[in-house]
Amino acid sequence: MFKIDQIPALQLGISGLDAGLTEEEQAIQEVTHRFAAEVMRPIAEKLDKMSAEEVIAPGSPLYDYLEQVQASGIIDLETMASMDKEQKARIIPLIFEELGWGDAGLAILSVATSFPAFVAHGTGDPELIEIFGSRIGCWLATQPDRGSEVVDLDGRELATGAKQNKGNLSAHIEGNHVVVSGQSSAWVSGAPIAQTALAYIPCDYGEGLYKADGSLNHIAVLIDLEQDGVSKGKPLDKVGQRPLPQGEVFFDDVRVPKKNIVADDAKLAADFFGVLTFANMEMGFTFTGLARAAYEHSLAYVHERKQGGCPIIEHQSVKLRLFDQWQKVEACRAMARRVANFNYLAPDPHLVASITAKTFVTRSCFEVASEAVQLFGGNGLTREYPVEKLMRDARASMIEDGENNILNLKAASYISEWFKENHID
């Protein structure tokens, strides 16, 4: 038991029930928090109210953000990659929670636009690093007719006997080139401003798009989007995460050197799930931050707003609703960090771990943000107050990076497979 002489005053850190952060970790958290408060929030508030076209137009505050985030060095994937595993498990969740608290759409923009550069550096090839190592990129995987089917790349959730959909974008090999034709979905984050793409595409290696078992052959390839044959659609007008521009990319027989291949079909599923495992894990940190932002706005508002003869926090039911928000934020953080611990410290990271956090956190985050709107009453629905934006941003997160139900189905299939292999003779 705890021996306490006097009931102590409650001491909470930036991120709630945190204790035992090192000085270095606290410094990183504080610097990121300041950046989120002073740079991200004001820029995101402006971008949220602009049209999708205005968000990407020259002079948009979006470019101030990109410049400032680059100059800050906060989201430097190379620096993150150079940390040891324990540091990654502890520091990366701290950084992305603060960024999500600042603005989830901008936080995700920074990650998605770095994927091609990160992969190029990983190849160690000076030519690929020169072309892809520092330009704005995107992660191009979904197509108009291939959404959840891309997330379910290994076909676990296909109806019995069904084939994966051929889709609207494919590649084939011609001599020393991969030739790409068709279009991506309108959901590719960062696409309207991207100069490069890390693309996952069905591919005909010479014997057709389909294998004998009905599944598709795929290829992962780095593509320069500023070459002939590439064009972009109009930026997407959507509910939530409006600072994160999205749009279609069209390819008209675009020739990509074979040396840009990141993974051929044999390595494709592992490579894709490596990216998705990181991305889903990162969603857990980011949307813990958004949930915290919604809770903090609620906490302040219920102390200001007077109804029923007192600040509404004095009403018992409001206290309970606020505590429910607090508890969900703490549960999100605990879950997200536990998954980081697993992914960095277990023998291998796994998509099941990341899905565990992604779908729980995004669902809880939406509940917290929606309750924030409810606690603000009519004010919660107006654009003068910040909580309706948080609710819209949280809503998108349950479809982004894999729709939550299909992700949960996949995770359950892996767990069942593990059980069958380990417990059934």
Ligand X SMILES: Cc1cc2nc3c(=O)[nH]c(=O)nc-3n(C[C@H](O)[C@H](O)[C@H](O)COP(=O)(O)OP(=O)(O)OC[C@H]3O[C@@H](n4cnc5c(N)ncnc54)[C@H](O)[C@@H]3O)c2cc1C
* Binding region for ligand X (CB under 6 A): 112, 139-142, 147-148, 151, 157, 185, 187-189, 241, 396, 399-400, 402-403, 405-406, 409
Between 51 and 327, name the residue whose CB sits nearer to ligand X: 51
User: Closest approach of Cβ 238 to ligand X, in Å?
Assistant: 7
Residues 98 and 14: their CA atoms lie apart, in Å, by 9
Nearer to ligand X, 139 or 344 (CB): 139
**Residue 156 beta carbon to ligand X: minimum distance, rounded to whole angstroms:** 9
Nearest-5° Cα angle at 316, 310 to 317: 110
Angle at 182 between CA 178 and CA 187, to 5 degrees: 110
Nearer to ligand X, 188 or 313 (CB): 188
Q: Which is nearer to ligand X, 40 or 112 (CB)?
A: 112
Q: How far is the CB of 209 from ligand X (least distance, A)?
A: 19
Rounded least distance, CB 243 to ligand X, Å:
11
CB of 404 to ligand X, least distance (A): 7
CB closer to ligand X out of 29 and 364: 364
Q: Quick one: tokens of 134?
A: 């520092």
- Nearer Cβ to ligand X (246/325): 246
- Closer residue to ligand X (CB): 232 or 315: 232
Cβ–Cβ < 8 Å for 188, 139: yes
Least separation in angstroms between CB 13 and ligand X: 30
Secondary structure, 3-state, 301-329: HHHHCEECCEEHHHCHHHHHHHHHHHHHH
Question: Both ends of the chain: CA-CA distance in Å?
Answer: 45
For 227-235, which contacts have Cβ atoms below 8 Å and span 24 or more sequence positions?
227/254, 228/254, 229/253, 229/254, 229/255, 230/254, 232/191, 232/192, 233/183, 233/186, 234/52, 234/53, 235/52, 235/53, 235/55, 235/56, 235/192
CA distance 342 to 328: 21
Minimum Å gap between C-beta 327 and ligand X is 27
H/E segment holding residue 177: strand 177-183
For residue 219, the minimal CB distance to ligand X (Å) is 15
Distance CA(189)–CA(32), nearest Å, equals 23
Q: Which is nearer to ligand X, 147 or 380 (CB)?
A: 147
- Whether 128 contacts 222, CB under 8 Å: yes
Closest by CA to 292, choosing from 394, 198, 215, is: 394
Kindly tell me which of 187 and 301 has the beta carbon lying closer to ligand X: 187
Cα gap 53→288, rounded to integer Å: 29
Give the phi and the psi of residue 197 in degrees, each rounded to 5.
-140, 145
Task: Tell me which residue has its CB nearest to ligand X.
Answer: 147
Q: How far is the CB of 199 from ligand X (least distance, A)?
A: 9
